A = this chain, B = another copy of it.
Amino acid sequence: MSRAAKESIAGELRGAGMKPTPQRVAIYEMLKGTTSHPSVEAVYEALRHAFPAMSLNTVYCTLQALVAAGLVRKLAMRENVFRYDANALPHAHFVCTRCGRVEDVSASVDEDLTRIEPGLEARIPRHVIDYEHYFYGYCVDCEAKLARSHVTDACHKTDLKKGETRDGRAD
Protein backbone atom coordinates (compact mmCIF):
# COMPACT_ATOMS: atom_id res chain seq x y z
CA MET A 1 0.00 0.00 0.00
CA SER A 2 1.20 3.45 -0.82
CA ARG A 3 2.64 5.87 1.66
CA ALA A 4 -0.31 8.19 1.05
CA ALA A 5 -2.79 5.45 1.83
CA LYS A 6 -0.91 4.62 4.99
CA GLU A 7 -0.98 8.26 5.95
CA SER A 8 -4.72 8.44 5.40
CA ILE A 9 -5.17 5.40 7.64
CA ALA A 10 -3.04 7.08 10.26
CA GLY A 11 -5.25 10.12 9.88
CA GLU A 12 -8.36 8.06 10.44
CA LEU A 13 -6.88 6.66 13.62
CA ARG A 14 -5.90 10.11 14.83
CA GLY A 15 -9.37 11.38 14.00
CA ALA A 16 -10.79 8.66 16.23
CA GLY A 17 -8.47 9.62 19.05
CA MET A 18 -6.06 6.75 18.58
CA LYS A 19 -2.33 7.16 18.28
CA PRO A 20 -1.36 5.69 14.91
CA THR A 21 1.33 3.24 15.90
CA PRO A 22 2.76 0.99 13.18
CA GLN A 23 0.93 -2.03 14.59
CA ARG A 24 -2.40 -0.25 14.65
CA VAL A 25 -1.96 1.12 11.17
CA ALA A 26 -1.06 -2.33 9.89
CA ILE A 27 -4.02 -4.02 11.55
CA TYR A 28 -6.52 -1.46 10.35
CA GLU A 29 -4.96 -1.46 6.89
CA MET A 30 -5.12 -5.23 6.73
CA LEU A 31 -8.78 -5.20 7.71
CA LYS A 32 -9.58 -2.60 5.08
CA GLY A 33 -7.83 -4.60 2.44
CA THR A 34 -9.63 -7.88 2.87
CA THR A 35 -13.14 -9.16 2.32
CA SER A 36 -12.65 -12.26 4.43
CA HIS A 37 -13.87 -10.88 7.77
CA PRO A 38 -10.91 -12.30 9.64
CA SER A 39 -10.82 -13.42 13.23
CA VAL A 40 -8.26 -12.12 15.72
CA GLU A 41 -6.13 -15.14 15.03
CA ALA A 42 -6.31 -14.58 11.28
CA VAL A 43 -5.24 -10.96 11.64
CA TYR A 44 -2.40 -12.06 13.86
CA GLU A 45 -1.24 -14.68 11.39
CA ALA A 46 -1.46 -12.29 8.47
CA LEU A 47 0.82 -9.77 10.17
CA ARG A 48 3.23 -12.16 11.82
CA HIS A 49 5.86 -11.79 9.14
CA ALA A 50 5.65 -8.01 9.09
CA PHE A 51 5.64 -7.69 12.90
CA PRO A 52 7.37 -10.72 14.36
CA ALA A 53 7.44 -9.15 17.80
CA MET A 54 3.76 -8.28 17.90
CA SER A 55 1.79 -10.30 20.41
CA LEU A 56 -1.63 -11.75 19.95
CA ASN A 57 -2.79 -9.59 22.82
CA THR A 58 -1.86 -6.48 20.91
CA VAL A 59 -4.16 -7.61 18.13
CA TYR A 60 -6.94 -8.14 20.64
CA CYS A 61 -6.40 -4.73 22.20
CA THR A 62 -6.12 -2.95 18.89
CA LEU A 63 -9.26 -4.52 17.51
CA GLN A 64 -11.17 -3.66 20.65
CA ALA A 65 -9.93 -0.11 20.44
CA LEU A 66 -10.92 0.10 16.77
CA VAL A 67 -14.38 -1.20 17.59
CA ALA A 68 -14.74 1.22 20.48
CA ALA A 69 -13.67 4.03 18.17
CA GLY A 70 -16.35 3.05 15.69
CA LEU A 71 -13.94 2.26 12.89
CA VAL A 72 -14.45 -1.49 12.89
CA ARG A 73 -17.36 -3.84 13.44
CA LYS A 74 -17.23 -6.91 15.60
CA LEU A 75 -19.23 -9.69 14.00
CA ALA A 76 -20.85 -12.41 16.06
CA MET A 77 -22.05 -15.50 14.34
CA ARG A 78 -22.77 -19.02 15.47
CA GLU A 79 -19.15 -19.99 15.77
CA ASN A 80 -17.10 -19.40 18.84
CA VAL A 81 -14.80 -16.76 17.45
CA PHE A 82 -15.54 -13.18 16.64
CA ARG A 83 -14.71 -11.69 13.28
CA TYR A 84 -13.90 -8.14 12.40
CA ASP A 85 -14.93 -5.94 9.53
CA ALA A 86 -13.47 -2.59 8.57
CA ASN A 87 -16.78 -1.64 7.03
CA ALA A 88 -18.24 0.13 10.04
CA LEU A 89 -21.56 0.85 8.41
CA PRO A 90 -24.30 -1.62 9.30
CA HIS A 91 -24.61 -4.10 6.48
CA ALA A 92 -25.84 -7.63 5.90
CA HIS A 93 -23.66 -10.72 5.85
CA PHE A 94 -24.00 -14.17 4.47
CA VAL A 95 -22.57 -16.94 6.63
CA CYS A 96 -21.93 -20.44 5.40
CA THR A 97 -23.04 -22.76 8.18
CA ARG A 98 -20.80 -25.50 6.89
CA CYS A 99 -17.40 -23.91 6.31
CA GLY A 100 -17.86 -20.69 8.25
CA ARG A 101 -17.09 -18.37 5.36
CA VAL A 102 -18.54 -14.90 5.81
CA GLU A 103 -19.38 -12.78 2.80
CA ASP A 104 -20.91 -9.38 2.30
CA VAL A 105 -24.14 -9.55 0.39
CA SER A 106 -24.98 -7.37 -2.54
CA ALA A 107 -25.16 -3.68 -1.77
CA SER A 108 -28.72 -3.56 -3.07
CA VAL A 109 -29.74 -5.80 -0.21
CA ASP A 110 -28.21 -3.35 2.23
CA GLU A 111 -30.05 -0.54 0.55
CA ASP A 112 -33.36 -2.31 0.95
CA LEU A 113 -32.67 -3.04 4.58
CA THR A 114 -31.52 0.49 5.22
CA ARG A 115 -34.68 1.82 3.64
CA ILE A 116 -37.01 -0.06 5.96
CA GLU A 117 -34.91 0.31 9.11
CA PRO A 118 -36.20 3.70 10.24
CA GLY A 119 -39.69 2.27 10.21
CA LEU A 120 -38.55 -0.70 12.23
CA GLU A 121 -36.70 1.39 14.75
CA ALA A 122 -39.73 3.55 15.30
CA ARG A 123 -41.55 0.47 16.53
CA ILE A 124 -38.73 -0.69 18.80
CA PRO A 125 -39.21 1.34 21.97
CA ARG A 126 -35.51 1.47 22.63
CA HIS A 127 -32.55 3.59 21.74
CA VAL A 128 -31.24 1.66 18.74
CA ILE A 129 -27.67 2.59 17.89
CA ASP A 130 -26.70 -0.23 15.59
CA TYR A 131 -28.09 -3.23 13.80
CA GLU A 132 -26.88 -6.31 12.03
CA HIS A 133 -28.37 -8.80 9.63
CA TYR A 134 -27.12 -12.30 9.04
CA PHE A 135 -28.20 -14.73 6.38
CA TYR A 136 -27.23 -18.32 6.98
CA GLY A 137 -26.91 -21.02 4.39
CA TYR A 138 -24.48 -22.89 2.21
CA CYS A 139 -21.85 -21.22 0.10
CA VAL A 140 -21.31 -22.38 -3.45
CA ASP A 141 -18.43 -24.63 -2.46
CA CYS A 142 -20.43 -26.35 0.25
CA GLU A 143 -23.67 -26.64 -1.65
CA ALA A 144 -22.43 -29.70 -3.50
CA LYS A 145 -21.46 -31.49 -0.32
CA LEU A 146 -24.87 -30.88 1.19
CA ALA A 147 -26.44 -34.09 -0.06
CA ARG A 148 -24.71 -36.45 2.29
CA SER A 149 -24.94 -34.29 5.37
CA HIS A 150 -27.42 -35.35 8.01
CA VAL A 151 -28.51 -34.22 11.43
CA THR A 152 -26.55 -35.81 14.24
CA ASP A 153 -26.34 -35.26 17.94
CA ALA A 154 -23.27 -33.11 18.35
CA CYS A 155 -22.24 -35.16 21.35
CA HIS A 156 -21.93 -38.28 19.25
CA LYS A 157 -20.60 -36.89 16.03
CA THR A 158 -17.59 -39.12 16.39
CA ASP A 159 -18.43 -40.59 13.00
CA LEU A 160 -17.37 -37.26 11.51
CA LYS A 161 -14.11 -36.62 13.26
CA LYS A 162 -11.80 -39.13 11.59
CA GLY A 163 -12.16 -39.04 7.83
CA GLU A 164 -15.04 -36.68 7.17
CA THR A 165 -13.94 -33.61 9.03
CA ARG A 166 -16.62 -31.02 8.54
CA ASP A 167 -13.84 -29.16 6.77
CA GLY A 168 -13.92 -26.15 9.00
CA ARG A 169 -12.06 -24.00 6.60
CA ALA A 170 -12.70 -20.33 7.21
CA ASP A 171 -10.74 -19.08 4.25
Contact = CB atoms under 8 A, between A and B. Distances in A.
Interface of A: 17, 57, 60-61, 64-65, 68-69, 74, 76-80, 82, 92, 94, 96-97, 105-106, 108-109, 112-113, 116, 119-121, 123-140, 143, 146, 151-155, 170-171
Please state the number of chain copies in the assembly.
2
Contacts of A137: 124, 126-130
A133 B132 contact: yes
Nearest to A105: B124
Contacts of A130: 97, 135-137
A48 B146 CA distance: 38
A17 B171 contact: yes
Contact of A151 (B17, B57, B60, B80): B17
Contacts of A112: 116, 119-120
Contacts of A113: 116, 120
Contacts of A77: 76
- Which of A121, A143, A154: most chain B CB closer than 10 A? A154
Contacts of A138: 126-127, 129
A60 to B, nearest CB: 8
A109 B128 contact: no
Contact of A126 (B76, B120, B126, B140): B140
A74 B97 CA distance: 12
Contacts of A133: 131-134
